[in-house]
Amino acid sequence: MTLTFADPSALTHDELEEGTAFAPRFDASGLVTAVAIETGSNQLLMLAHMNAEALSLTLETGFAHYWSRSRGKIWKKGESSGELQRLVEIRVDCDQDAVVIEVEQTGRGAACHTGRKSCFYRCVVVADDKPSLVDIGLPKLFDPKKVY
Amino acid sequence: MTLTFADPSALTHDELEEGTAFAPRFDASGLVTAVAIETGSNQLLMLAHMNAEALSLTLETGFAHYWSRSRGKIWKKGESSGELQRLVEIRVDCDQDAVVIEVEQTGRGAACHTGRKSCFYRCVVVADDKPSLVDIGLPKLFDPKKVY
Contact residues, chain A, for B20 at CB < 8 Å? 132-134
Query: Is residue B48, in this structure, part of any structural domain at all?
Result: yes
What confidence tens digit (pLDDT) does each residue in B51-103 have?
Answer: 999 999 999 999 999 999 999 999 999 998 999 999 999 999 999 999 999 99
Contact residues, chain A, for B132 at CB < 8 Å? 20-22
Q: Which of B18, B120, B131 sits opposite A22 (nearest CB)?
A: B131
Q: What is the CATH number of the domain that holds A64?
A: 3.10.20.810
Low-confidence ranges of chain A (pLDDT < 50): none
Nearest Cα of chain B lies from the Cα of A121 at a distance, in angstroms, of 7
How many structural domains is chain B composed of?
1
Cα A117 to Cα B94: distance, rounded to the nearest angstrom: 12
Cα A52 to Cα A67: distance, rounded to the nearest angstrom: 9
Contact residues, chain A, for B99 at CB < 8 Å? 124
What confidence tens digit (pLDDT) does each residue in B112-139 have?
Answer: 999 999 999 999 999 999 999 999 999 9
The phi-psi region of residue B94 (left if phi > 0; otherwise alpha if psi is between -120 and 50; otherwise beta) is alpha
Cα A19 to Cα B135: distance, rounded to the nearest angstrom: 9
Asked if the Cβ–Cβ distance from B3 to A126 is below 8 Å, we say yes
Q: Which residues of A are known binding-site members?
A: 93-95, 97, 112, 119
Nearest Cα of chain B lies from the Cα of A73 at a distance, in angstroms, of 18
Most A-contacting residue of B15, B32, B124, B126 (CB-CB within 10 A), to test interface:
B124
Query: Is residue B41, in this structure, part of any structural domain at all?
Result: yes
Q: What string of H, E and C letters represents the secondary structure of B37-105?
A: EECCCCCEEEEEEECHHHHHHHHHHCECEEEECCCCEEEECCCCCCCCEEEEEEEECCCCCEEEEEEEE
Most A-contacting residue of B29, B91, B102 (CB-CB within 10 A), to test interface:
B91
Containing domain of residue B58, as a range? 8-147
Closest CA to A34 of A11, A10, A58, A7: A58
This model of the complex carries an ipTM of 0.96
Residue A73: strand pairing partners:
A68
Query: Is residue A1, in this structure, part of any structural domain at all?
Result: no
Q: What is the pTM of this model?
A: 0.96
- Percentage of chain B lying above the pLDDT 90 cut: 95
User: For residues B44 and B35, is the Cβ–Cβ distance under 8 A?
Assistant: yes
Query: Is residue A3, in this structure, part of any structural domain at all?
Result: no
Query: Is residue B3, in this structure, part of any structural domain at all?
Result: no
Average pLDDT of every residue of chain B: 96
